[in-house]
Amino acid sequence: MKKKLYIFIVIILSFLIFAMYKIFVENKTIVEKDTILAMDTQISWVIYEKPSLYPLDLNAKIKTRINELVKLLSVTDENSEIYKVNHHQERDIKLSEDTKNVVLFALQMAEKTNGALEPTIYPVLREWGFTTGKYQIPDETKIRDLLNYVDYRKVSLKENQIYLPEGMQIDLGAVAKGYIGDEIIKILKANNISSALINLGGNVQLLGTKQNGDLWNIGLKSPNSQDYIGILRLADCAIVTSGNYERYFIGEDNKRYWHILDGKTGKPADKHINSVTIVTKQGKLGDALSTALFVMGVDEAINYWKQNKDENNAFEMILITDDKKIYITENLVDSFTLQDKYKDYHMVVVTL
């Protein structure tokens, strides 16, 4: 009798231990990390989810989608669709749906920003060596000649058919990473993920909050050093920064030349801005505006912000200038903390 009672108690205890373990494991949040090199950028993601809900093939799905888009959008990959558009003898080419969507968005943003975002700048960008690594300062005559092939208004896109005049080439680098980030977010949402952080170089995209409900802490890089000038506390948005400290070279004249070119001059945009950070819902919009507003300069960027407050185009921004001023739109003030060592920077709140 005692033996049967003992066995019964052991079975009950085993069941309770198993049940408690199962409850613990199913409610425990796991951290899933992965990374891939694409478009000269280390793309990484951190996903938080319960083990029982985490799809086993999720990382593979993300990598597959990234590789699909790179094969379409890369300007240097000889097998990409954009490369073929730029080098095909026939200037009238049918695009895939993804490439069409990105080209259309880039052209729309070029129109909205009056060419501050210029997707046909590629011939000039290449001449400076920013796509090849063979940096040089082009002479004025060469720049003037190449600017004859820079004008987004000459690109014709009808449904999936694109036409480029001879000599013109397009570069989607100012929107491609943002589009890729948006596509990763779509995959995560489709797989019921509610908390994730995606890092695409100068682009960060957040899905939801941290797993415990807290806001994410995102460092804003200092234009003049390797540390952070401040911290943004945000959730469920895209944070995109473009700056003159990212890709640049020092010329023989000891001046710094950066990769963000003004489509009207063919030279690095120099409106005394060191960096532009955009906070918005769409990565591709943040990508486009971080470049465009850098080209515009402070006054024009502020006017653009004031004129684009509808739901589809709304964004917030931080502009850091070379005279140690930080222009920050009013809705970001409570989300931003300036690091103590940068207290000599003057904060200017931008209001409507």
Residue ranges of the annotated binding site for Mg(2+) are 174, 287, 291
How confident is the model at residue 311, as a pLDDT? Answer: 78
Q: Flag whether the pTM goes above 0.85.
A: yes
How confident is the model at residue 52, as a pLDDT? Answer: 65
How confident is the model at residue 89, as a pLDDT? Answer: 63
Backbone angles phi, psi at 13, to 5 degrees: -65, -40
How confident is the model at residue 310, as a pLDDT? Answer: 84
How confident is the model at residue 23, as a pLDDT? Answer: 35
How confident is the model at residue 22, as a pLDDT? Answer: 38
Q: Which of 260, 296, 263, 257 has its CA nearest to residue 148?
A: 263
Residue 6 CA to residue 51 CA, distance in Å, equals: 34
Residue 234 CA to residue 216 CA, distance in Å, equals: 5
Go through 48-83 and write b for each residue having 16 or more CB atoms within 10 A of its CB, e for each that does not: bbeeeebbeebbeebbebbeebbbbbbbeeeebbbb
How confident is the model at residue 21, as a pLDDT? Answer: 35
N residues, the chain: 352
Q: Which residue positions in the chain have pLDDT lower than 50?
A: 2, 5, 8, 10-28
273-280 and 238-243 as β-strands: parallel, antiparallel, unpaired? antiparallel
Residue ranges of the annotated binding site are 174, 287, 291
How confident is the model at residue 283, as a pLDDT? Answer: 97
How confident is the model at residue 28, as a pLDDT? Answer: 47
Q: Which domains does the chain show, CATH number per domain?
A: 76-163 (1.10.3980.10), 215-350 (3.10.520.10)
